Amino acid sequence: MRQNSRVSSQHLPKDLALESAEFRVRQAGEWLGLEDGLIETIIAPRRVLEVSIPFRHDDGRRDHLVGWRVHHNTTRGPAKGGIRYHPGVTRDEVVALAIGMSLKTAIMNLPLGGAKGGIAFDPKTLTPRELEKVTRRYVSELIPFLGPDKDVPAPDVGTNAQVMAWVLDQYSASVGHIVPGVVTGKPIELGGSLGRESATGRGAVEAAALAGQQMGLALAGSRIAIQGYGQVGAWAARLAHARGAKIVAVADVGGAIHNAGGLDIAMIDRKMREGAKSVVETGAGEIVGVGSAGAANVFTVECEIVMPCALGDAVDETIASNIKAKLVVEGANGPLTPKADEVLTERGIIVVPDVYANAGGVTCSYLEQCQNFAHLSWDEDEVNEKVISLMQSAFKRLHSFSVEQKLPYRLAASVLGIKTIADSHRMRGLHP
């Protein structure tokens, strides 16, 4: 009786993000006709750890946060995925994002599994000292879960190279020696890889170029609208601009700016370095929306390519029905609601899904680990070339499978990823 009255988060209604991640895996499993309940084994996360994080604010107040680390699939290699600091983080969202990581590593053919971690809070409300304490306490709760052969975190929304340095230090202190391979996306001085900061944006721009090529749409000369001006969006803007595309609109939480002739990206970057808190404060372009609601106007400007590069569920069906672009490239994880995805498919707009489009980040993380394990450091051009070449090989597999089987990229990507994972489960067998 007591047990039945316990409320576990597993029995609460699932977040939309988790429902859609599970739906996509199940859909791929059905398409493959997986035998013997294998799809249930694949859907279920291997481990979910929920931790309480007590800490003191600088003024002496005691406080608590809640965090998670999820190992979704570890059949093909150590669990791999970022740590997210955001007030909207929930257990279900972390599981959904971990499922996405399992698919990404499988689609990219990286010898890694899928993981994700998160703490539900806004990092901007803490001082650097408080942030360090929260990070260290979170990591100390995770020690048995972590390690280069078990689980390797990386940056995600709200975390960066400095946070990874604290993760590395806390883990290394607990095992008694430095372990650079326990995290990726760390500072270069601690064994980080050149090219890691730009890798997700670089991969997303390459994905846009490759998908565009198939549609007769050259990247050079294309008009692109980018939502999000953080690590992914800003790098996507810089790199697409460098390849001759016109960035006609960009947006962040402060709002959206637009210039039909192309925004001056160097000027936006300069103003942001000088202290502008949002792209709307840079004086570039015309402000076409204010605040996070107004920022959504970026999606519906006249352009060929839209790149949502911020948070999940940013594009709903209403926005989707007003998108004028021919191609949508998901730089963020889960930026389209399932309904928005349906609307775009019905309208014949090509969507390059997150599990491929933003896999440049984890691909570079893998290259960072290769360098750590071999005690090497490659120069930036070498890393960038390897990221691009892995993105190109994966696109070739994805595109030919989607053409052969007449599947949209999203379903083709899920099927390819789940097939790789299912094959490895079958080959390993079931213990005991």
Stretch that binds ligand GLU, among 18-26, 310-318, 354-362, 383-391 (CB under 6 A): 354-362
**Span from 76-84, 235-243, 289-297, 419-427 in contact with ligand GLU (CB under 6 A):** 76-84
Q: How far is the CB of 84 from ligand GLU (least distance, A)?
A: 8
Task: Tell me which of 80, 104, 116, 246 is the catalytic residue.
Answer: 116
Q: Which two tokens stand for residue 343?
A: 């609307």
Give me the least distance between CB of 256 and ligand GLU, in Å please.
24
Stretch touching ligand GLU by CB under 6 A, among 244-252, 257-265, 357-365, 413-421: 357-365
Residue 184 interacts with ligand GLU (CB under 6 A)?
yes
Nearer to ligand GLU, 92 or 304 (CB): 92
* 342-370 core/surface letters (b: 16 or more CB in 10 A; e: else): ebbeeeebbbbbbbbbbbbbbbbbbbbbe
Nearer of residues 159 and 300 to ligand GLU, judged by Cβ: 159
- Measured in residues, the chain has a length of 432
For the question of residue 271 being annotated catalytic, the response is no
Name the token pair of 155: 């940056």
| Cα–Cα distance measured from residue 33 to residue 332, given in angstroms and rounded to the nearest whole number | 30
Cβ-proximal residues to 51 (8 Å cutoff; 6+ apart), any chain: 66, 67, 68, 69, 138, 141, 142
Q: How far is the CB of 232 from ligand GLU (least distance, A)?
A: 9
Residues 421/75, Cβ–Cβ less than 8 Å: yes
CA distance 332 to 157: 10
Report the alpha-carbon distance of residue 365 to residue 371 in Å, rounded. 10
Does 151 interact with ligand GLU (rule: CB under 6 A)?
A: no
Cβ 234 to ligand GLU shortest distance, Å:
15
DSSP sequence for 238-288: HHHHHTT-EEEEEEETTEEEE-TT---HHHHHHHHHTT-SSGGGS--SEEE
Cβ atoms of 137 and 147 within 8 Å: the answer is no
Q: Which residue is nearest to ligand GLU (CB)?
A: 82
The correct pick among 107, 161, 362, 394 for binding ligand GLU (CB under 6 A) is 362
Q: Which is nearer to ligand GLU, 15 or 156 (CB)?
A: 156
Among 71, 80, 223, 258, binds ligand GLU (CB under 6 A): 80
309-338 mask for ligand GLU (x: CB under 6 A)?
A: ------------------------x-----
Instruction: Note whether 361 binds ligand GLU by CB under 6 A.
Output: yes
Distance CA 289, CA 296 (A): 8
Part in contact with ligand GLU (CB under 6 A); list of ranges 75-83, 173-181, 301-309, 373-381: 75-83
Per rule CB under 6 A, is residue 72 in the interface with ligand GLU? Answer: no
The radius of gyration computed from the CA coordinates of the chain, to the nearest angstrom, equals 21
CA distance 240 to 246: 8
- Rule CB under 6 A: choose which of 154, 303, 310, 311 binds ligand GLU: 154
Residue with smaller CB distance to ligand GLU, 252 or 368: 368
User: Exactly one of 77, 81, 230, 255 binds ligand GLU (CB under 6 A); which one?
Assistant: 81
**Given candidates 135, 365, 372, 420, which one binds ligand GLU under the rule CB under 6 A?**
365
82 contacts ligand GLU (rule: CB under 6 A) = yes
Residue (of 151, 149, 161, 167) closest to 189 by Cα position: 161
Q: Which CB, 156 or 330, lies closer to ligand GLU? A: 156
Q: In what order do the strands lie in the sheet with 305-308?
A: 286-290, 255-258, 246-252, 223-227, 305-308, 327-329, 350-352
Amino acid at 16: L
Task: Determine the interface stretch with ligand GLU among 80-88, 241-249, 256-264, 379-387 (rule: CB under 6 A).
Answer: 80-88
> What is the spatial order of strands in the sheet that 62-73 belongs to?
47-56, 62-73, 114-119, 79-85, 151-155
Q: Please tell me whether residue 156 binds ligand GLU under the rule CB under 6 A.
A: yes
The catalytic site residues sit at: 116
Binding residues for ligand GLU, rule: CB under 6 A, are 80-82, 154, 156, 184-185, 333, 358, 361-362, 365
